C-alpha cells in the first residue's frame, strides 16, 4: 500500500502542477509562489484528512460495499482530470488573499474524494496526507516557476496524465474485490 500512496500523491499533485503552470503565466513573484505552494500543500493535507476520517467511519457502517465505491470515486476523479484537457483556462487570473485559499481548495478537491476512498480501506492517514501535502507543494512550486518556459498545454497534459493514473489505481482496487 505504501507504493500506492506514493503514486496517488504524485497523481494528485499533477492536478496542482497543471493549474500552477496555467497560473504562473501571469508572472508571479517569488514570495507569492511560496505562499501559493504552501497553501496548496496545506489543503492537500487538510482535505484528505477530513475525508479519510469520514471514510473510516463509513467503512464501519457500510463495510465492503464502500470499498467498491472508493474505487469508483478514484476512477471518476481521474476521468474528470483527464477531461480537463477540453477546458479553456486562458482567462485564469492571479489569486491574491482569500483567492489563494480558494485556488488551493479548488486544486485539492480531488484529494478530498481520494481521501474518502483511502479512509474506507484504512491506510496510514498521517503518512498519506503528509505525502500528499509535500508532493503537491513541491509540484505547485515547480509548476509556477516553470510556467513561463513550458506553457499551458504541458500543464493540461500533466493533469490528464495524473488523472489516468488515478483511474488506473481505482480500476486496480475494483478488480481486487
Q: Per-residue pLDDT tens for 106-127?
A: 777 778 777 777 766 667 888 8
Most confident among 60-64, 82-86, 143-147, 169-173 (mean pLDDT): 143-147
CATH number at residue 71: 1.20.1250
- The pLDDT value recorded for residue 37 is 94
Residue 133's pLDDT band (boundaries 50, 70, 90)? Answer: very high
Percent of the chain with pLDDT over 90: 15
pLDDT at 51: 83
**Does the pTM of the predicted model rise above 0.85?**
no
Can you tell me the distance from the alpha carbon of 23 to that of 165, in angstroms, rounded to the nearest whole number?
23
- How many domains would you assign to the chain? 1
| Position 138 pLDDT exceeds 70 | yes
CA-CA distance, 128 to 118, in Å (whole number)? 9
Residue with cell 480501506: 121
Residue 100 has pLDDT above 70, yes or no: yes
Structural domain including 135 reads 2-175
Mean pLDDT of the 17-37 span: 80
Written as nine digits, the cell of 127 is: 503518512
pLDDT tens readout for residues 33-84: 999 999 999 999 998 888 887 766 666 666 556 556 656 665 766 676 667 6
B/e letters for 37-50, b = 16+ CB within 10 Å, e = fewer, are bbbbbbbbbbbbbe
Amino acid at each position: 500500500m505504501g507504493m500506492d500512496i506514493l503514486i496517488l500523491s504524485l497523481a494528485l499533485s499533477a492536478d496542482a502542477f497543471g493549474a500552477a503552470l496555467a497560473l504562473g503565466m501571469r508572472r508571479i513573484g517569488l514570495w507569492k509562489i511560496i505562499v501559493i505552494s504552501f497553501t496548496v500543500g496545506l489543503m492537500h493535507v487538510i482535505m484528505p484528512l477530513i475525508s479519510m476520517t469520514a471514510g473510516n467511519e463509513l467503512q464501519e457502517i457500510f463495510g465492503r460495499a464502500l470499498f467498491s465505491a472508493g474505487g469508483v470515486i478514484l476512477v471518476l476523479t481521474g476521468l474528470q482530470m483527464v477531461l480537463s484537457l477540453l477546458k479553456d483556462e486562458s482567462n485564469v487570473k492571479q489569486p491574491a488573499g482569500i483567492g489563494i485559499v480558494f485556488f488551493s481548495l479548488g486544486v485539492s478537491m480531488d484529494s478530498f474524494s481520494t481521501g474518502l476512498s483511502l479512509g474506507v480501506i484504512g491506510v496510514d492517514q498521517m503518512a498519506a496526507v503528509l505525502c500528499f501535502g509535500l508532493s503537491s507543494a513541491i509540484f505547485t512550486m515547480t509548476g509556477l516557476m516553470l510556467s513561463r518556459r513550458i506553457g499551458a498545454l504541458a500543464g493540461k497534459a500533466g493533469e490528464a496524465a495524473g488523472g489516468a493514473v488515478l483511474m488506473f489505481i481505482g480500476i486496480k482496487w475494483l478488480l481486487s474485490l
